[in-house]
Amino acid sequence: MGINGETKMVGILGHPVTHTLSPRMQNAAFKAMGLNIRYVPLHILPENLPAAVAGIRAMEFLGANVTIPHKVPVCSLLDRLDVSASRAGAVNTIVNREGLLEGHNTDGAGFIRALRETADIDLPAAAVVILGAGGAARSIAAALAEKGAPRLAIINRTRQRAEDLKALLNRDFPALDVIIRMPDEDLGDLLSASRLLINATSVGMEGHLKAVPLDVDRLTKDHVVCDIVYAAQETSLLVAAREKGATVMGGLAMLLHQGAASIHLWTGEDPPLSVMRNALES
């Protein structure tokens, strides 16, 4: 189906955005679904985010995905947030309802779906360690809290962002035990006492693979280790975890499921996961 006067547009707002696999995955889905929709990368500098959001309205885009570093700041530019976005304090999907921009968050649900595919894990009994406190970390942490995770340790380079995430989580989940640690502290005991370890920092994106601040010797076959980074198919964290016998999950699975959930929000239809998976792997 060629582009014509009826073509609807969706974009991904990010900085940088050149690494993104979303256009390939989402366009493959729209094609397979027979929908006249195109998905484009949109490089948006932070200072231009308000103008870009206004542009979604002005150009009558169906909506957009939102990625680094805009997931948190975009919240205040939208007309309303659904519960997934307000709980996470982060938006990865904008839906344009006749000029009214609605913020959603499919990262959390996408992560949970990917996790369920990968491991048989009893979340209400699973202590979690999460690296990072940015938009992706917030979404995943809120989704895990919603599924009943009892304890969550946040490790982040910038302490204030971890404090902000703790406050956000305890606002909606007062019984959740949230611990904050700095990357240079001894994290060994914390790791030993946990079941699920998630790297939700962007370390890896710019070639900082060596920066993962963890004593991987503490990992065992009982751990489930997830890395949201998908630029390199297997990050150094996952390679090390696999060597220890842990169950590992890379970023592509979460990317797939958050993208499918976004398409459902824009179109009301479920996209073909196998087509999307093939597009990511080709």
> Residue 115 to residues 82, 110, 112, 231, 255: CA-CA distances in angstroms?
23, 9, 5, 19, 12
Strands 100-104 and 93-97: antiparallel
Active site residue 210: no
Of the pair 37, 241, the CB lying nearest ligand ATR is at 241
Give me 29's structure tokens: 């889905």
Whole-angstrom distance, CA of residue 60 vs CA of residue 133: 32
CA dihedral 98, 104, 109, 114 (to 10 degrees): 80
* Shortest Cβ 85–ligand ATR spacing (Å): 13
Phi, psi (deg, nearest 5) at residue 96: -95, 105
**Catalytic one among 71, 147, 210, 244?**
71
Which residues are at the interface with ligand ATR (CB under 6 A)? 68-69, 71-72, 132-137, 156-158, 161, 201-203, 208, 211
**In whole angstroms, how close is the CB of 245 to ligand ATR at the nearest point?**
26
Nearer to ligand ATR (CB atom), residue 98 or residue 184: 184
Q: Minimum CB separation from ligand ATR for residue 102, in Å?
A: 19
CA angle 22, 23, 26 (to 5 degrees): 75
| Shortest spacing between CB 93 and ligand ATR, in angstroms | 13
Nearest residue to ligand ATR, by Cβ distance, number only:
134
Q: Which positions are annotated as active-site residues?
A: 71
